[in-house]
Structure 1
Amino acid sequence: MGQIIADLGGELITLFLSVLGMLPYLALYIGLILFALFVYTQIKHRLSPVQDFTSLKTVTFGDESAVVSNKAASVISVVLIFVIWGAFTGSAWLPKFLHAPGPFLGDARFTYTLETADGETAQAQVAVRVHEAGQKPDAPVVDGNEGLAQNDTLVVQAYRSKLLRWDANDVVTRKDGAKIVAVNATPISRDADVDVGFGRVALTDKGTLNFEPDKGWQMENIWLPAPESVWQRLISVSRDGYQNVTLAEHLSYSLFRVIVGFALGAAVGIPLGYAMGLSNWFRGWFDPIVEFMRPVPPLALIPLVIIWAGIGEQGKIILLFLAALWIMAIGARSGVSGVKISKVHAAYSLGASKRQILRHVIIPNSLPEIFTAARVAMGVCWGTVVAAELVAAEKGVGKMIVSASKFQDTDIVLMGIILIGIIGFGIDMLMRWAEQYLVPWKGKG
């Protein structure tokens, strides 16, 4: 137990340090948001300087029905995300003055100091050439050096490191007791690296030198490809497909699974939620089951569903059905419980029957909660179908992503993630439009 607590404590410390490292970037992003808000406010004020009673809002702060998405803020937010993405990947779509500092490329030199077993010292230069991935440049030319230490060359790819066996051409070697004691006149040891301006030089346990060129702030393509790389890959996959399956097939299979699973979950979950909200017996019967299954993540059910229904379409749809079922049931139950009792009493006083109260009072007033639950359930279904396709599928966006990750095709992985987000956003927007059309009374009491 003590070891477990110590391990968890170490993980918490590492997480805390990681969060601290992200704070400057988070502060910068928040600063950009506030700056964009200030600029937008000033421009709007100058374009519409009239300040009379017609320009004042008639709603009070906190009125949910008065808060709508600002289209200018949405456009600026999306553009800013792409600008940040392009800046930290050196995108050709952005002017170079917007690029974050990139990795060091080119030729440079550093000097190391050798010390023999007798205490005699000598110096030699190392000519370094850092190149981009895919290139095979020649080694730089160095002059001869008279003495115990001879000049060396080193060719390194950007974002990589390389060992320098400095004694391969020296008069004295490590076997003779010689060692490196300084780089650029700065003492070096196994615990103290030396920054040479264009990279760092470290001393390994075996006494060799390890050079790592400066990476700058830009991300390597294998970690985060530039926007144009993802766009070009989207065009090529749309035209030629990926692993003998077209992109349209991948997307249609995933979308079909999500829609069918969500529809089945809603068809069962909404009546179940109404029954739990209207009947003490149904509430007592199903409440333990719903509350037990609600915190269980759908991904935990994948092995059981595979055992029961196999790896075909039935298993994936059952998994999505279970992912949507509990969310829709809780949404419908919450909608029924949230109906104002004054409306029910008013309907009874007018002579309404239970069926009329259900039709004209309970269902209309519970629809906002049901639509909110549907949007949440659809998002959960998207995440679940991708995870299910990661485990067992021949077609689907998740299958495409996991296959691309095995070959380190990060641009395809990122393309799949973006497509999932765009489709999910589109579905959410359709639900919002349907809610505005079908439930125009939301937020109006």
Structure 2
Amino acid sequence: MEKLSFEISKEVKFRGISIVSVVVLVIIWAIVTHFEWVDPYFIPKPLEVWSSFVVLLSEGYKGASLFTHIANSMYRLFTALFLAFITAVPLGLLCGYSKYIRAIFDPIIEFYRPLPPLAYYALLVLWLGIENESKIALLFLSGFAPLFIATAAAVEKLPADRMNASLSLGATKRQLFQYIILPSCYPDILTGLRTSIGVTYATLVAAEMVAATNGIGWMVLDASRYLRSDIVFVGIILMGIIAIGLDSLLRFYQARRFSWVGK
């Protein structure tokens, strides 16, 4: 009981430090903009950003509500992440288990993985059109590689004795994957998913650059063309808060479900 209360007090302490750091950053931002040490076109005042946020909530942006922009971006993001998860995890498990299968797919994934998303986005638009399909495909490709690599690496680091013992006790290959490999790889798969979300989220603006008329990334890009830095700040802050929320949910689940990891 004492240990639990000590851990809770430490967590509260760390949370407090995080809150203070954010408050200090906002204060510095307010001071810099108040004395106009930086041109207001580049860094608007916090109150101006808040006012723009209130206006966006009530009036929307370019004919669509703020919620619609966020919902469209999240639809593209989660569709791509779902497709990446159901393909990268099984393929990563197979490639981590079999070097022959990995030899087939590894060159392809390693070839496109370091490429900037915009380098092949033109091809995706040419093949899939300018609607959501090309945008989802771009997000899918950006999120697939980190999740695949994390899954394959998780399988490769499993102790061979654990798998050999299961096979010697009569386990089939299906049972080996279902009861030994997959459960052992869960923590690393979740870590790979967190990385995948970060990479995919960073590609969101690029995905909404071509022929989009909605989305939080498009809103930021469109506002920047008219030097509306207040709206740009609103979009960036919203994207950051949403990303922190998604990652916090995964971290919370990871801490509760796999509390034994690293101990």
Question: 2:22 & 2:164 partners in 1: Cα distance?
Answer: 48
Aligned residues: percent identity?
37
The code of the aligned residue for 1:311 comes to I
Give the aligned partner of residue 178 of structure 1: none
Deviation (angstroms), 1:348: 4.6
CA distance in 2, matches of 1:355, 1:441: 26
Q: What's the offset of the Cα at 1:232?
A: 0.8
Alignment of 1:242-391 (within 5 A): 242-348=61-167, 351-391=170-210
CA contact (8 A) 1:364 1:439 kept: no
Q: Distance in 2 between matches of 1:328 and 1:291?
A: 13
Aligned equivalent of 2:214, options 391, 395, 398: 395
Return 5+ residue gaps in structure 2 as ranges.
none
**1:392 corresponds to which letter in structure 2?**
A
Measure how far apart 1:346 and its partner are.
4.7
Identify, as 1 or 2, the structure richer in strand: 1
- What is the match of residue 40 of structure 2? 221
> Does the 8 A contact of 1:338 with 1:366 survive in 2?
no
Letter in structure 2 aligned against 1:396: G
Deviations 1:323-366 (A, max 9, x none): 11112111110111121334334545655443333223211221
| Separation (CA, whole Å) in 2 of partners of 1:372 and 1:229 | 37
**Contact 1:331 1:369 (C-alpha < 8 Å) held by counterparts:** yes
The yes-or-no answer on 1:72 pairing with 2:20 is no
Question: Shift in Å at residue 219 of structure 1?
Answer: 1.9
Once the two structures are overlaid, the 10-residue window that deviates more, 256-265 or 379-388, is 379-388
Could you tell me the TM-score, scaled by structure 1's length?
A: 0.54
Are the equivalent residues in 2 in contact too, given 1:272–1:329 (CA < 8 A)? Answer: yes
- Who wins on radius of gyration, i.e. which is larger? 1
1:120 alignment counterpart: none
Any residues of structure 2 matched to 1:12-411 within 5 Å, and which?
70-90=14-34, 102=35, 218-348=37-167, 351-411=170-230
Structure 1 CA distance for aligned equivalents of residues 226 and 136 of structure 2: 29
**Correspondent of 2:232 among 392, 403, 413:** 413
Point out which structure has higher relative CO (alpha carbons under 8 A, 6+ apart). 2
Structure 1: unaligned runs, 5 residues or longer: 1-53, 59-66, 91-101, 104-217
TM-score by length of 2: 0.90
Equivalent of 1:441, from 239, 260, 263?
Answer: 260
In structure 2, how many angstroms separate the alpha carbons of the residues matched to 1:442 and 1:293?
A: 32
Q: Which amino acid aligns with 2:50?
A: W
Greater percentage in helix:
2
State the Cα RMSD in Å.
Answer: 2.1
The equivalent of 1:26 in structure 2 is none
SS of 1:88's equivalent in the other structure is: helix
Aligned to 1:222, the other structure's residue is in SS state coil
